Amino acid sequence: AQSVSQHNHHVILSEAASLELGCNYSYGGTVNLFWYVQYPGQHLQLLLKYFSGDPLVKGIKGFEAEFIKSKFSFNLRKPSVQWSDTAEYFCAVRQAAGNKLTFGGGTRVLVKP
Amino acid sequence: DAGITQSPRYKITETGRQVTLMCHQTWSHSYMFWYRQDLGHGLRLIYYSAAADITDKGEVPDGYVVSRSKTENFPLTLESATRSQTSVYFCASGGGGYNEQFFGPGTRLTVL
């Protein structure tokens, strides 16, 4: 069974700092990759997704992620965070053309003003 | 309004009671999913459905029952609630294939 690891459980940053969240998965076949964000008290929203093509994916709110197939990684980045980026971030993987998502354990990000 | 809704948003129940969590979507998505969210575990898939009358187990199905008589509804039933089922439950829907999943607002369930 595939698994997804998010190595940082908690991250604390100051505004304007850069953010990088790690995500590694275990499945060896072709995958679809997602980053979701959950703001306090809200439901999950899609930040970005990768299916194929350019491994550098740009999403909403200035986020981007890079798929490195050789490292089974899909790290999320933002050059300059804002207080409003305080949230929990989830990486998710799906076997290509499949339907079930496997989520990582999440990373809680706190941005201090 | 179009979207995916869950009810109730909050529920407190006692061990051994039956509880049903409702999920309704207006997009006519073929796929629907139930997840539970627990600290440190992210979201884990309980059950999913590919279409009306087609359901299948996910990663943590024990103690749960689902049905899908209509495309737009996907209720989740805890037949005899246990404390370990205290969690936040999210319903999601999607078109399958290359489509993303859209999540509902969640139901926070406490089993005393």
Residue-wise pLDDT for A11-41, tens only, equals 999 999 999 999 999 987 889 999 999 999 8
How many interface pairs between A and B have CB atoms less than 8 angstroms apart? 51
Question: In this complex, is the C-beta atom of B94 within 8 Å of any C-beta atom belonging to chain A?
Answer: yes
pLDDT of residue A100: 85
Q: Which residue of A has its CA nearest to B106?
A: A43
Contact B103 A99 (CB under 8 A): no
Whole-angstrom CA distances from B107 to A13, B76, B86, B104 are: 30, 11, 10, 9
Do A43 and B103 lie within an 8 Å CB cutoff? yes
Give per-residue pLDDT as tens, A44-82: 999 999 999 999 999 999 999 999 999 999 999 999 999
CA B33 to each of CA B16, B73, B77: distance values in angstroms, whole numbers, following the listed order: 24, 11, 13
Query: Residue B32's pLDDT is what?
Result: 94
- Segments of chain B scoring below 70 in pLDDT: 1-2, 95-98
Reported residue count of chain A is: 113
> What burial class does residue A34 get, using C-beta atoms within 10 Å of its C-beta: 0-12 exposed, 13-18 middle, 19+ buried?
buried
pLDDT at A43: 87
